[in-house]
Structure 1
């Protein structure tokens, strides 16, 4: 829906200094990248419609194969990686037949297509949504829709209540559901490094404006899960309001992105015969610098202008929020002037980046002077996850029972 490869947090200089040729990819977003329409599907040569943003990524991967050697890169050693929607995109490229052979390793940070909320929409449903969107603008045909100014389309798609356009099960780029492809072992069989952050979202994502109390948590769970609510209460226990806040946060994080990322790693580990390395990034960002008293952190890692007077008091983040790991992973803390980075933050960044560089070069994140990171599907040390913080450590996978239950709910 938003974002740009030119953002400073994606700068490739630090990775280049470590011997990586880094390519950032721009692709069409929102209505321009994912609108499906029956007339688009019927055009000569078309094979479905709606996945234009993902096809842009695929085209960029082909460009890399044809041109990267001129920049000192090796087309036989391409790693793809992304965060949030980018991570979802990596999971999509792993199941897309047209992307097979264009990369040999994959990195996903916080997200995949392997959940109900992230799975691609069936082509007929996506076409109906696209046609209805055009009709709402007075464009009953594809010709009329194409005649509208791009800015008008962009503004209309951004209005409250406007449809959201996302990946489509088009029978071509995505011929099957990603979950089915991974379950069958038909995905790209490449080493995978994947994980999520320790506090992707807050309890507000589950409770809305309700206060975090036992009663409000119970109401939300009953509304969402009905007869299965008792099992949610067992897996996310809350007997006090403090426990309810944590339980609501945990469930909100799992529903938002943790479960889908876990499912991706778990299935690939079972069916690919390739190593899967899992992490939980747990370093909370430090406080904002004093000069930025009129902004608050946004969901995707950016900053939002505070419009409430007086400014609401913000409790310190208890964990790493969504997208907070990007600057650490790519060695770009210094480009983000909003936060009062500490020595420990640069230490975490150095270690995280070293793991990623090793993985990109060899398919294995382990290396000298780094705590051991066992593959999650290792025959001898399986089931572990690396907690990335000031002192990285491998530990048994937490909360697997939660994810297995959510797996049943999502079927």
Structure 2
């Protein structure tokens, strides 16, 4: 009997150090995670009270501190979203979904002390995605980059972005919509209050995201409510498109409240109470099927004006910034392209009709000799290239450092299928997860070239999170955009350059200027899908 007791006591003593490494006493409450190599992982930590059922379309509420020890060894469910049955490269449906989804995950080195914090905001068109997709595993960045990685869930689709007069009426601020953005701000507030207990520095937080995550980064940089909650920003493949305004139609878009009223009618709900009583998954799927699209709303509170206007006025968060895009963005998003014309003559005629005196510079950049390549490049540049350059130029104008990049790396499984440097292709390289991609993602070779490129990108991103200057061991320096228009290309090896795609930004800035003056939206409707652009005083 004594031997059994002694053995149990010895086992308990041996287990104590491991338990101590994964048990954290935070202001939110005690939480126990798990060990993964030299990293501690805490999964599915709630950061706000879930607004479900009758509380749908409410701001996220603060959670009281919990008692006891909360186990944080399983990821929380994804926020409710449509699940596609198709098998595309982005197909990676979540195992679980719920309205109770406002959770975050933390990867931290075991010996962390006041380390920089990297907060990841997933993409998915504000419709889909979740914080623990396999590519977003933060272990390698935490281990190799010496940063604490936090990934967050936020409400999506109609549950995350619905604006409606009834919702505005019951709000103390007289506004509605932007609930997913409010969730992101709540998560950043949680990080400020709690991350020091995990070894992080709340005074050194970087927000980062790709696609809709990059759009969210811009929303956060523009939002007065998020000011001071982060200190650096990374916007990957972001798109600075028109946003609906809450109560007035502008730039050819109806008011966000009117869109919400139309959605309620289409869903067959007589009032807000009926809408709140609907099953969350049915509501989300039906709304998506009927064409409801979620966007941030210019409400005068969280978003005070259009993003282009915020950057024009220099009112964005004045924090160091990385912004960039991929050479083949539209190769995996061909659904965003307009129908191809019959041939070169029809292509040129359509461009001249739509772009008028801008047609010649347009055709010089996107010539008719290869219409498919021209269409791919046009929409890429009008959405992602123009946005990245505008972010860099706007930041330079207010005296803040901005680092521009182009991801142009390919490998056989992608290139052989016409997917060279496709949308989101850079993500496994940034996170060091080239062997952890989605099931139908073009498989990345586990060879020296790809491992070195991943190590370099992880190094640049994590050093930027540490000190606001991207650098990587053994790699060339990355200069701020500045007067020289510096940028970095990631293609096999990082290579610096100047003046990315000369003439690209000027053309699309001129087109957007004319659209703004004529109250026309700017988004995917570029090139062959463009409206006729009027000559406008004050625009090139």
Q: TM-score with structure 1 length normalisation?
A: 0.85
CA RMSD of aligned residues (A): 2.2
Find the aligned partners of 1:206 and 1:14 in 2 and give their Cα distance. 34
Query: CA deviation digits over 1:47-101, x for unaligned, max 9?
Result: 4111011110000000000000011100000000000000011011011001111
Find the aligned partners of 1:404 and 1:225 in 2 and give their Cα distance. 14
Aligned counterpart for 1:147 among listed residues 263, 277, 280: 277
Find the aligned partners of 1:213 and 1:111 in 2 and give their Cα distance. 32
Query: CA deviation digits over 1:107-144, x for unaligned, max 9?
Result: 1100143xxxx232110211001011101222132122
Distance verdict in 2 for CA 1:82–1:285, change over 3 Å: farther
Find the aligned partners of 2:357 and 2:156 in 1 and give their Cα distance. 38
In structure 1, stretches of 5+ residues that fail to align are 289-313
Q: Does 1:122 align with 2:223?
A: no
Query: RCO higher in 1 or 2 (8 Å CA, sep ≥ 6)?
Result: 1
Q: In structure 1, what is the equivalent of residue 367 of structure 2?
A: 237
Q: In structure 2, what is the equivalent of residue 248 of structure 1?
A: 375
After the TM superposition, which residues 293-312 of structure 1 pair with which residues of structure 2 at under 5 Å, given as runs?
A: none
Q: TM-score with structure 2 length normalisation?
A: 0.66
After the TM superposition, which residues 101-120 of structure 1 pair with which residues of structure 2 at under 5 Å, given as runs?
A: 101-113=228-240, 118-120=241-243
Find the aligned partners of 2:324 and 2:436 in 1 and give their Cα distance. 24
SS at match of 1:23: strand
SS at match of 1:107: strand
Q: How far has the Cα of 1:365 moved from its partner?
A: 0.6
Query: CA deviation digits over 1:286-329, x for unaligned, max 9?
Result: 317xxxxxxxxxxxxxxxxxxxxxxxxx9543631100100111
Q: In structure 2, what is the equivalent of residue 184 of structure 1?
A: 313
Aligned counterpart for 2:503 among listed residues 396, 401, 407: 401
Aligned counterpart for 1:317 among listed residues 410, 418, 422: 418
Q: How far has the Cα of 1:403 moved from its partner?
A: 1.4
Q: Does 1:360 align with 2:465?
A: yes
Q: In structure 2, what is the equivalent of residue 193 of structure 1?
A: 322
Q: Does 1:45 align with 2:172?
A: yes
After the TM superposition, which residues 195-274 of structure 1 pair with which residues of structure 2 at under 5 Å, given as runs?
A: 195-202=324-331, 204=334, 208=338, 210=340, 213-215=343-345, 217-218=347-348, 221-222=351-352, 224-225=354-355, 228-238=358-368, 240=369, 243-271=370-398, 273-274=399-400
Q: How many residues align?
A: 374
Query: CA deviation digits over 1:329-362, x for unaligned, max 9?
Result: 1101111265041331111111111111110001
Note if contact 1:36-1:126 (Cα within 8 Å) is conserved in structure 2.
yes
Find the aligned partners of 1:55 and 1:280 in 2 and give their Cα distance. 31
Q: How far has the Cα of 1:199 moved from its partner?
A: 1.1
Distance verdict in 2 for CA 1:216–1:8, change over 3 Å: farther
Find the aligned partners of 2:137 and 2:225 in 1 and give their Cα distance. 28
Q: How far has the Cα of 1:226 moved from its partner?
A: 5.5
Q: In structure 2, what is the equivalent of residue 62 of structure 1?
A: 189
Find the aligned partners of 1:223 and 1:53 in 2 and give their Cα distance. 40
Distance verdict in 2 for CA 1:149–1:367, change over 3 Å: closer
Find the aligned partners of 2:495 and 2:285 in 1 and give their Cα distance. 46
Find the aligned partners of 1:340 and 1:11 in 2 and give their Cα distance. 16
In structure 2, stretches of 5+ residues that fail to align are 1-126, 248-254, 514-540
Find the aligned partners of 1:315 and 1:148 in 2 and give their Cα distance. 45
Q: How far has the Cα of 1:284 moved from its partner?
A: 1.6
Find the aligned partners of 1:282 and 1:65 in 2 and give their Cα distance. 36
277-286 vs 121-130, which moves further: 277-286
Deviant stretches of 4+, over 4 Å: 203-209
Query: CA deviation digits over 1:358-399, x for unaligned, max 9?
Result: 10001001254221111101x5xx311101122211111222
SS at match of 2:496: strand
